[in-house]
Amino acid sequence: MAQITFGKVTTVETPDPLTVILRLSQPSPAILSSLNSNGAQVLPKHLYEGTDVLSNPYNKKPVGTGHSLMLPWDTCRSRCFS
The one-letter code for the residue type at 35 is L
Q: How far apart are CA 8 and CA 27, in angstroms?
A: 8
H/E run at residue 16 = strand 9-16
Evaluate whether 3 touches 31 at the Cβ level (below 8 Å). Answer: no
Dump pLDDT digits (tens) for 3-26. 777 888 999 999 988 788 889 998
Dump pLDDT digits (tens) for 36-79. 776 667 778 899 999 998 899 988 877 766 666 656 666 655 55
Q: How far apart are CA 35 and CA 26, in angstroms?
A: 17
pTM of the model: 0.50
Query: Domain locations in the chain?
Result: 2-40, 47-82
